[in-house]
Amino acid sequence: MSDERSAQRPSSGPRKKRPFQRRKVCRFCADKQVGIDYKDPRTLRYFITERGKIVPRRISGNCSKHQREITEAIKRARNIALLPIAGSHVLP
Interface residues toward Zn ion, by CB under 5 A: 26, 28-29, 63, 66
Q: How far is the CB of 69 from Zn ion (least distance, A)?
A: 9
55 or 63: whose CB is closer to Zn ion? 63
25: left (phi over 0), alpha (psi -120 to 50) or beta: beta
63 or 82: whose CB is closer to Zn ion? 63
Contact by Cβ (8 Å): 43, 37: yes
**Cα angle 63, 30, 19; round to 5:** 60
67 or 84: whose CB is closer to Zn ion? 67
